[in-house]
């Protein structure tokens, strides 16, 4: 049960990270903070799994069947 909680927490963290990245990309480059897209944090196993679940690959022939 703890694993499922960690995975769902990692999925929400990945969603928040993507929203933050989209907001930073919308800013003008001159107004964006210096090194705003770089993080020096080592991801956990749950975060890596969440990223893999959220990351869609265009070269995957079965990607469009996923609902």
What are 10-22's pLDDT values in tens digits?
888 888 988 988 8
Give me the residue label for tokens 């990223």: 51
Examine the pLDDT at 1 and tell me if it is beyond 70: no
Closest by CA position to 44, among listed 5, 7, 2: 7
pLDDT at 52 over 60: yes
pLDDT over 90, % of the chain: 1
Contact (CB, 8 A) for 6 and 48: no
Q: Stretch 38-65: mean pLDDT, rounded?
A: 78
Mean pLDDT of all residues belonging to the chain: 76
pTM: 0.48
Whether the per-residue pLDDT at 65 is higher than 80: the answer is no
Helix spans in the chain (H): 2-26, 45-54
Q: Which helix (H) or strand (E) holds 49?
A: helix 45-54
Q: Give the phi and the psi of residue 64 in degrees, each rounded to 5.
A: -75, -10
């Amino acid at each position: 049960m703890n694993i499922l909680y960690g995975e769902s927490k990692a999925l929400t963290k990945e969603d928040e990270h993507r929203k933050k990245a989209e907001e930073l990309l919308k800013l003008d480059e001159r107004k964006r903070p210096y090194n705003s897209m770089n993080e020096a944090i080592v991801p956990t196993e749950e975060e890596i799994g969440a990223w893999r679940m959220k990351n869609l690959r265009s070269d995957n022939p079965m990607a469009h069947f996923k609902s």
